[in-house]
């Protein structure tokens, strides 16, 4: 078993110039594999609304299923730094509501931190969570819970005014007490400026190579989600094609009588089959 990843070991990686690895995960089997691969940070993300439950966006997730999935991920990846994603309207209503819901992640799922979206408007909520001893990961740039305001899944900070706002929000969130920051779908120059100024680990998902680490949605990285593919995704596998081929082969084997065969069947204990036939006469 590897040594537990902590906020201090992540900070040490940044100081040593080592890149941080981060992936999403929603279940126990995948968590086992990410743990074996040595992924530093695992995000139990509300992206499961789309990748697992088939919704058009992330707004449909609530705390109960998020907690359930985070518990499964924690069991499979005890050594990773586990971040629980705060779903839509679980923290925006009030700091007190945010503490109540974030506390569930920490107590019920064993998370190491929670993640919430937003900039200066979330500073008081971040402060309240930190004062309640709950570590926080901020999230700036493309914030999926705000797609109604953003007009869809669009990259952010591509003009000077927008970039300055994200840079300023990063500073405000760090002053409010976040332990980590996630930047999504921004130009690499924005990622570089924020990472250079920050005293905390800055992780990018579509934020260029100059941040301290990278995140991908695991279903995107494995080619297991075909609804759409963001520009920043690198596919390391075409899992959909492999699984489909296996399912088609299974169907064909069953239809044509090639499965199951003798090696897939259980056998009676010696002499017991004869006894059964005698009892049935």
* Matching residue, tokens 């705060």: 86
**Residue 72's Cα: distance from chain center in Å?**
13
Give catalytic residues, as residue numbers.
184
Which residues, other chains included, contact 198 with Cβ-Cβ below 8 Å and sequence gap of 6+?
A: 170, 174, 181
Pair 129, 102: CB distance under 8 Å: yes
| List of domains in the chain | 7-237 (3.20.20.60), 242-280 (no CATH)
pLDDT tens for the chain, 281 residues long, are: 799 999 999 999 999 999 999 999 999 999 999 999 999 999 999 999 999 999 999 999 999 999 999 999 999 999 999 999 999 999 999 999 999 999 999 999 999 999 999 999 999 999 999 999 999 999 999 998 987 777 777 899 999 999 999 999 999 999 999 999 999 999 999 999 999 999 999 999 999 999 999 999 999 999 998 877 888 999 999 999 999 999 999 999 999 999 999 999 999 999 999 999 999 98
What one-character DSSP code corresponds to residue 175?
H
For the segment 177-227, what is each residue's pLDDT rounded down to a tens digit?
A: 999 999 999 999 999 999 999 999 999 999 999 999 999 999 999 999 887
Cα(199)–Cα(23) distance, integer angstroms: 22
DSSP secondary structure string for all residues of 41-78: EEEE-TTHHHHTT--SSSTT--HHHHHHHHHHHHHH-T
């Amino acid at each position: 078993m590897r040594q537990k990843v902590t906020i201090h070991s992540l900070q040490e990686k940044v100081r040593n110039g080592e890149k941080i690895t981060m992936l999403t995960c929603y279940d126990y089997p995948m968590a086992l594999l990410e743990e074996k691969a040595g992924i530093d940070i695992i995000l139990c993300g509300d992206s499961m609304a789309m990748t697992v439950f088939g919704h058009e966006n992330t707004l449909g997730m609530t705390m109960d299923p998020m907690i359930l999935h985070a518990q499964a991920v924690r069991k499979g990846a005890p050594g990773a730094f586990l971040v629980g994603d705060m779903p839509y309207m679980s923290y925006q209503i009030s700091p007190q509501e945010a503490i109540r819901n974030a506390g569930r992640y920490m107590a019920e799922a064993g998370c190491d931190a929670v993640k919430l979206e937003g900039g200066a408007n979330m500073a008081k909520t971040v402060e309240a969570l930190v004062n309640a001893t709950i570590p926080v990961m901020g999230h700036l740039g493309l914030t999926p819970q705000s797609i109604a305001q953003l007009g869809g899944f669009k990259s952010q900070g591509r003009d000077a005014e927008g970039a300055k706002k994200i840079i300023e929000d990063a500073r405000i969130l760090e002053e409010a007490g976040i332990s980590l920051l996630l930047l999504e779908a921004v130009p690499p120059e924005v990622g570089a400026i924020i990472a250079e100024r920050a005293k905390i680990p800055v992780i990018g998902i579509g934020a260029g190579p100059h941040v301290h680490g990278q995140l991908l949605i695991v279903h995107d990285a494995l080619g297991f989600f075909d609804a759409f593919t963001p520009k920043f995704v690198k596919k390391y596998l075409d899992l959909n094609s492999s699984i489909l081929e296996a399912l088609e082969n299974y169907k064909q084997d069953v239809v044509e009588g090639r499965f199951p065969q003798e090696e897939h069947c259980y056998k009676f204990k010696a002499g017991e089959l004869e006894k059964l036939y005698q009892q049935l006469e």
